[in-house]
Amino acid sequence: MKVLVVGGGGREHALVWKLKKSPRVSKIFCAPGNAGIGQLAELVELKDTGISGLADFAEKNRVDLTVVGPEAPLIAGLVDEFEKRGLNVFGPSKAAAELEGSKAFAKAFMDKYSIPTAKYRVFEDASEAQEYVRAIGAPLVVKADGIAAGKGVVVASSEEEAIEAIDKIMVERAFGQSGNKIVIEEKLEGEEATLLAFSDGNMIIPMVSSQDHKAVYDGDKGPNTGGMGAYSPAPIVTSEVMKKAMDDILIPTIEGMKAEGRPYKGVLYAGLMIKDGQLKVLEFNVRFGDPETQVVLPRLKTDIVDIMEAVIQGRLHELELEWDDRLALCVVLASGGYPGSYEIDKPIVGLEELVDLEDITPFHSGTSECHGKIVTSGGRVLGITALGNDVNEARQKAYHSINLLSFEGMHFRKDIGIKALAHM
């Protein structure tokens, strides 16, 4: 079968890599892709938000399955357009994607269906929001209502920080229309974990747990990024926590979305805060996470095409997922200056050294090819994923591999997996 993957980051590289392993897949296209994806798939010069162009391409090239990586095309209605044309597509509809497209909608939805989350208020006026901050004080969390590439959330430890964040989002319009509204919520304490799950609109099957590292520096210091590394499983997600997540969060979400006339099909991402065995939802995303995908998919043994087809056809109940027992750990290598401004077109040295290393996969994120060389083209450049029998082994493999790589300005966190060691 022919498959089209929409997107061009590390998540999409991991999806293409996994799809390539399916004996059912004969050809993969990726729009727009990156240099690493280009080694596995045919790159298509189409923007991931150009919905009609992507649908035209799928029709013309007789694509059997389209897999959508990023949130923006889902929120814009790519799935609706493909389904209208009778094309097989994996992902939620525009109505279902509002769970990520609007944090205000998601919070109201959680309230309505008694899904545990932080207390919050929604504001459409910057001065009212700032007055509220002065009245209740810090710490608190300020969130742009719409999508902002993982950077629209500010955990403010002081009133000044919170007011600055409100200005940046609502007055300076750092994230455009995503800042028309903001959500201000209480700061939750505990340890974060991510639970991805497949849903066909009626049934939901969780994947293995993972833990992302959003802050740019070691020790969770500095501004939030799209994610600087991850590992799977997250030891804090015990079997009891997993059961609670299913009973209190995932199942009520799928049932609630169905009751709202927005049946949810695709991957649901639940960002959780866990403390003393109690769970609260930090956020919902409507697609595979990045870099969580880079540690979850290497552990998946079941053919991903079979799963995606079962989701589309509403027969997820027929499947049982199989997983590798080993731990997966991914460290993200970023451009100098990221998550602020950074330079691109820096040659990457050493990738060929990783080719024969066992249990190591370099997933490309912000890379492109220039005169036969692979160069940087984004903030997050590579995600180096290692499989190991435990955290120490996976860490050792990943960081050893990173020592073989270099590009000007390269920086990365050196503490990915440390939290997992604390549970051993």
Q: Check: CB of residue 184 under 8 Å from CB of residue 155.
A: no
Burial of 186 from C-beta contacts in 10 A (0-12 / 13-18 / 19+)? middle
Residue 183 bridge partners (DSSP): 122, 143
What letter does residue 69 receive in the DSSP assignment? -
Q: Which residues contact 371 (CB under 8 A, 6 or more apart)?
A: none
What's the token pair of residue 383?
Answer: 């995600």
Neighbours of 159 (CB within 10 A): 17
State the sign of the Cα–Cα–Cα–Cα dihedral 167, 169, 175, 177: negative
The residue assigned the tokens 């997600």 is: 237
Q: Indicate the length of the chain as a whole number.
A: 424
Per-residue pLDDT, 422: 84
Rounded CA separation 235/219 (Å): 18
Q: Check: CB of residue 221 under 8 Å from CB of residue 173.
A: no
Q: Which residues contact 296 (CB under 8 A, 6 or more apart)?
A: 196, 207, 208, 210, 232, 288, 328
Per-residue pLDDT, 234: 97
Closest CA to 214 of 236, 195, 193: 193
DSSP string, 279-336: EEEEEEESS--TTTHHHHGGGB-S-HHHHHHHHHHT-GGG----B--SEEEEEEEE-T
Question: What structural domains does the chain harbor?
Answer: 2-94 (3.40.50.20), 119-186 (3.30.1490.20), 191-318 (3.30.470.20), 327-421 (3.90.600.10)
The residue assigned the tokens 């966190």 is: 413
Closest CA to 289 of 103, 60, 11, 3: 11
Per-residue pLDDT, 185: 97
Identify the helix (H) or strand (E) that includes residue 216.
Answer: strand 215-217
What's the token pair of residue 269?
Answer: 């991402």
Rounded CA separation 167/74 (Å): 28
CB-facing half-sphere around the CA of 56: CA atoms within 13 A: 7
Per-residue pLDDT, 224: 86
Q: What is the pLDDT along the chain (424 residues), one digit of tens a residue?
A: 999 999 999 999 999 999 999 999 999 999 999 999 999 999 999 998 899 999 999 999 999 999 999 999 999 999 999 999 999 999 999 999 999 999 999 999 999 999 999 999 999 999 999 999 999 999 999 999 999 877 789 999 999 999 999 999 999 999 999 999 999 999 999 999 999 999 999 999 999 999 999 999 999 999 889 999 999 999 999 999 999 999 999 999 999 999 999 999 999 999 999 999 999 999 999 999 999 999 999 999 999 999 999 999 999 999 999 999 999 999 999 999 999 999 999 999 999 999 999 999 999 999 999 999 999 999 999 999 999 999 999 999 999 999 999 999 999 999 999 999 888 7
pLDDT, tens only, 216-244: 999 999 988 999 999 999 999 999 999 99
Q: What are phi and psi of 343, to 5 degrees?
A: -95, 155
Per-residue pLDDT, 271: 97
State how far Cα 107 lies from the chain centre.
Answer: 19
pLDDT, tens only, 69-125: 999 999 999 999 999 999 999 999 999 999 999 999 999 999 999 999 999 999 999
The residue assigned the tokens 């503490």 is: 415
